[in-house]
Amino acid sequence: MSSIVAKLTANRSKFLTQIVFGTIFLLFLTIQPGCRPRELARPTPQMDITQSYWVRVLLLSNITNCTLKIATHYNITNLDTNSVVSTVENNIVSPEEPIKIEITAGKITIAGRTFSSDKLIVYPNQPHIFSLNNNEYRGKLELIINPDSNTFDVINHVPLEPYLAGVIGAEMPDYWEPEALKAQAIAARTYCLYIKNRFGTKRNWDVAKTQASQVYLGVKAESAQVWNAVNNTYGKVLTCKYSDGVEDIFPAYYSSVCGGHTANSKYVFGDSFEPLTGVACPYCKDVAKITLFFWPMAQFDNSTVTTRLFQKYPQLKQLGEITEIIPAEQIDYGTFSRLIKIKLVGSTGKSDFLRAEDFRLCIDPTGRQIQSTICQITKWDDKWAFLAGRGWGHGVGMCQCGAQGMARQGKNVEQILAYYYPGSRIKTFY
Ligand SMILES: [Zn+2]
């Protein structure tokens, strides 16, 4: 070790000189007119893959205009009601200026040209990247006029692997352990395919770009580490045995910090799968920020609590003003417990029940004050206090900070996924 230290010291001044010259050279490059400070965009993979491996992400909904920039040539195609595609504008030269897209008199106008179809696809050439309202995404862009004829939705069609590259860096810091990032990639791939197959057939899109599905930021979430995690797990998903014996993918939920024990999906989302029944997690405590693991007391006025409950669950109005909030069911994890079901009693004496996770997100829709259902609830004058809280998020499936904790201890992606999704198997999907 001492010889390495001596060598480092001897090289230090040479190293510093190199840093100074390197910095000056970089500055020189950066300030050159027309020079782009970032690396050239990597090509978008899978653009010729079969349609069943594409993901449709809802980027914008119910809008009247947006701005597009495409650095390459692009095509615009009509998608009529029978989904027959006809190219109406081929190989358009992209202008330097942003392209304005708007809806007027029930028709979409792109850069001043009005189209008759209520469904259009904008398809940029290689590297298949476009910028929508200054955010870059890969793949194609679909514009659909809503039934009200006054607004339209914008949907990103993107193959699964580049979609994941836009998710992993948004869901997990890219400087985390490579094995944790790989576990995140397999969980996110599985979750996306499950949601697409389950809900995508009933609507124009498969997933939202927010926590409602999983956070997708497009190209700005990408990095070399993120692409490594995606490429090193290419096409891999998690499966489990269903009650009828058939093996299939399941909703591989994950959340930030479980607080010491992951939750059972049955009590949070109402769906039941063998790998989602909950496990003890000794790994997240050393990774998560202390205020995320043990969250500070949150307080809400009784009037706020009552108003929010009535807004989201109008059937609760018959209870009258909420006078009691009682844990009706909880799971004991030893030194702490997770609320499962809440009993609400009103001034009329009537009572009703809510799932604890639904109650939490109704009172605090951001989830940033009442961070989890591992907490105690106490009346404090005219306020409700949420005390002794642990963890952040719904707690079902893989604990993201726990995955990082396991990876730091040398566990690999197979061990991490087997731990948080017991009974699951990693399979190659394509
Ligand atoms: Zn955990």
Please say whether the beta carbons of 171 and 187 come within 8 A: no
Name the residue with tokens 């690999």.
Answer: 412
Distance of CA 422 from the midpoint of ligand 1 (Å): 15
Distance of CA 87 from the midpoint of ligand 1 (Å): 51
Burial environment of residue 102 by CB neighbours within 10 A (0 to 12, 13 to 18, 19 or more): middle
Distance of CA 227 from the midpoint of ligand 1 (Å): 25
What are the Cα distances from residue 282, in Å, to 286, 383, 390, 392?
9, 33, 13, 15
277-301 burial, b at 16+ Cβ within 10 Å, e below that, comes to: bbbebebbbebbeeebbebeebebe
- Neighbour tally for 367: CB within 10 Å: 16
Distance of CA 421 from the midpoint of ligand 1 (Å): 13
**281 is written with which tokens?**
């997690």
Bridge partners, residue 130, by sequence? 137
Residue 205 in 3-state DSSP?
Answer: coil
Distance of CA 257 from the midpoint of ligand 1 (Å): 5
Distance of CA 337 from the midpoint of ligand 1 (Å): 14
Distance of CA 103 from the midpoint of ligand 1 (Å): 47
Distance of CA 101 from the midpoint of ligand 1 (Å): 45
Distance of CA 241 from the midpoint of ligand 1 (Å): 25
- Give the total residue count for the chain: 430
From first to last of its 430 residues, the chain has per-residue pLDDT tens of 333 333 333 333 333 333 333 333 333 333 333 444 455 678 999 998 988 899 999 999 999 999 999 988 898 988 765 555 566 667 677 677 899 999 999 999 998 889 888 999 999 999 999 999 999 999 999 999 999 999 999 999 999 999 999 999 999 999 999 999 999 999 999 999 999 999 988 899 999 998 878 999 999 999 999 999 999 999 999 999 998 999 999 999 999 999 999 999 999 999 999 999 999 999 999 999 998 999 999 999 999 999 999 999 999 999 999 999 999 999 999 999 999 999 999 999 999 999 999 999 999 999 999 999 999 999 988 999 999 999 999 999 999 999 999 999 999 999 999 999 999 999 998 8
Cβ neighbours of residue 138 closer than 8 Å, sequence gap 6 or more: 44, 127, 128, 129, 158, 162, 163, 166, 218, 219
For 173, the enclosing helix (H) or strand (E) is: none
Distance of CA 406 from the midpoint of ligand 1 (Å): 10
Distance of CA 401 from the midpoint of ligand 1 (Å): 6
Distance of CA 40 from the midpoint of ligand 1 (Å): 38
Q: What is the pTM of this model?
A: 0.86
Distance of CA 218 from the midpoint of ligand 1 (Å): 27
For 282, the enclosing helix (H) or strand (E) is: none
